[in-house]
Amino acid sequence: MKKIIALILTAVMVLAVFCSCGSDSSENFTGDPSKPSEGSQSSISNETVLSDDDGLKIVKTYRLELETLAFDKASELIASAAEALGGYISESSEKNTSITEDTEALQYATYTVRIPADKTEEYLDAIEAECNILRSSLTTEDITDSYYDYQAQLDSLKIQEERLTEMVEQTTSLDYLITLEDKLAQIRTEINALNSKLQLMDKSVNYSYVYLTLSEVKELQSVSEESYWQRVSNAFAGAISTFTAVMSEIFIGLLWILPFLLLGAVIAIVIISVERKKKNRRRNQNPSDKDSAPSDTEEKK
């Protein structure tokens, strides 16, 4: 009895494993392993170049915290280097950081710069030559799926526009003509909206975002290495993150196997109940056999 239940549960577990493996392989096959995950971050020095040759649409966002001893010179460089490389400053603000009149006014500024994606590294190198970079980061966002989804919608709407235009030219009914023109106007509005979205996405891909904060200081800070306790803290945070990821995967695996476990449990319960009924029947039959046995021996005597 125990062997039968064990064999059933083993078969159910093997079936669950094959199903989960099949789903994972199908997801990996349909996905593009070359696409980066959305919102991934890396330091600028370790940036992986993401080209658009393979159809990927990647939006890059750089964030740098700068300091300088010559604020006016650095500020002028930020603008002139962007213009020389075909970029521009889309937003900027400046202020003095001194609070009292006795202290010397130190300046502070923020910039939002748009630089051609293939010129961004050159722009960052030009800034690094004049400014001290305290912190830097790169965020990439993959908008490939959204982009081509909008493109497919646009192609479909253009086909509808052509058909409606032909119908408008051929119809002779005034009421039908008004209906067709209303529908045509609606489709053209949707086409314009999709064109605007695609143009904005193209611009976001072709021109990287560079967010700069520039601080004027009297003495440049030295970029120090991480201390021992900072490394311990980072290692602990990484361990917690890994543990959370593993537990989440285990939970997902349990959800995959749960229906098969329930099916195995139902089968096991049915088998156990059937076996108990058989045992009860045998017990009910055995007393009668025992009662009849003495009578037979008496007759023989």
* Residue 113 and residue 92 share a domain: yes
Within a domain: 172: yes
Which range has highest mean pLDDT (32-36, 122-126, 168-172)?
122-126
Question: Count of residues for the chain?
Answer: 301
* Residue 49 and residue 17 share a domain: no
Average pLDDT for residues 95-101, to the nearest whole number? 63
* Residue 143 and residue 195 share a domain: yes
* Residue 14 and residue 110 share a domain: no
Within a domain: 239: no
Sign of CA dihedral 79, 82, 85, 90: negative
Any long-range contacts for 263-270 (C-beta under 8 Å, 24+ apart)? Answer: 263/12, 264/8, 264/9, 264/12, 264/13, 267/8, 267/12, 268/5, 268/8, 268/9
- Per-residue pLDDT of 135-145, as tens digits, reads 999 999 999 99
Least confident interval from 24-38, 57-71, 124-138, 227-241: 24-38
* Residue 11 and residue 47 share a domain: no
* Residue 50 and residue 144 share a domain: yes
Both structure tokens of 129: 């030559």
Q: Is the pLDDT of residue 51 over 50?
A: no
Within a domain: 160: yes
Q: How many other C-beta atoms can be found within 10 angstroms of the C-beta atom of residue 121? A: 15
Question: Cβ neighbours of residue 200 under 8 Å, at least 6 residues apart?
Answer: none
> 238 with 89: CB under 8 angstroms?
no
Domains: count for the chain: 2
301 by DSSP, 3-state: which?
coil
Average pLDDT across the chain, whole number? 78
Euclidean distance between CA atoms 62 and 13, whole angstroms: 48
pLDDT band at 13 (very low <50, low <70, confident <90, very high): low
Within a domain: 233: no
For 182, 189, 192, 283, the CA distances from 162, given in Å and listed in that order, are 14, 14, 15, 84
* Residue 23 and residue 52 share a domain: no
Question: What pLDDT score was predicted for residue 183?
Answer: 93
Q: Which residue has the higher pLDDT, 79 or 39?
A: 79
Euclidean distance between CA atoms 296 and 301, whole angstroms: 9
* Residue 97 and residue 16 share a domain: no
| Angle, vertex CA 122, rays to CA 118 and CA 123, nearest 5 | 100
Least confident interval from 28-42, 60-74, 98-112, 286-300: 28-42
For 216, list phi and psi in degrees, rounded to 5.
-90, 130
Q: Is the pLDDT of residue 254 over 90?
A: no
Q: Is the pLDDT of residue 273 over 70?
A: yes
Question: What pLDDT score was predicted for residue 287?
Answer: 59
- Per-residue pLDDT of 75-91, as tens digits, reads 999 999 999 999 999 99
Question: What pLDDT score was predicted for residue 52?
Answer: 47
Question: What pLDDT score was predicted for residue 83?
Answer: 94
Q: Is the pLDDT of residue 292 over 70?
A: no
Question: What pLDDT score was predicted for residue 41?
Answer: 41
* Residue 91 and residue 194 share a domain: yes
* Residue 255 and residue 196 share a domain: no
Distance of CA 20 to the CA centre of its chain: 21
Which range has highest mean pLDDT (118-127, 242-251, 257-266)?
118-127
Within a domain: 9: yes
pLDDT band at 111 (very low <50, low <70, confident <90, very high): very high
Both structure tokens of 47: 């940036």
* Residue 183 and residue 270 share a domain: no
Within a domain: 114: yes
Question: What pLDDT score was predicted for residue 255?
Answer: 82
Q: Is the pLDDT of residue 37 over 60?
A: no
Least confident interval from 100-104, 181-185, 234-238, 284-288: 100-104
Question: What pLDDT score was predicted for residue 4?
Answer: 56
Determine the angle formed by the axes of helices 174-206 and 144-170, rounding to 10 degrees: 160
Q: Which residues constitute the domain of residue 188?
A: 39-223
Within a domain: 301: no
Euclidean distance between CA atoms 114 and 265, whole angstroms: 61
> 101 with 88: CB under 8 angstroms?
no
Q: Is the pLDDT of residue 7 over 90?
A: no
Domain boundary among 174, 204, 223: 223
Euclidean distance between CA atoms 159 and 13, whole angstroms: 51
- Per-residue pLDDT of 162-185, as tens digits, reads 999 999 899 888 888 899 999 999
* Residue 78 and residue 11 share a domain: no
Average pLDDT for residues 120-126, to the nearest whole number? 93
Partners of 93 in beta bridges: 110
Question: What pLDDT score was predicted for residue 270?
Answer: 86
Question: What pLDDT score was predicted for residue 288?
Answer: 52
Question: What pLDDT score was predicted for residue 22?
Answer: 44
Within a domain: 231: no
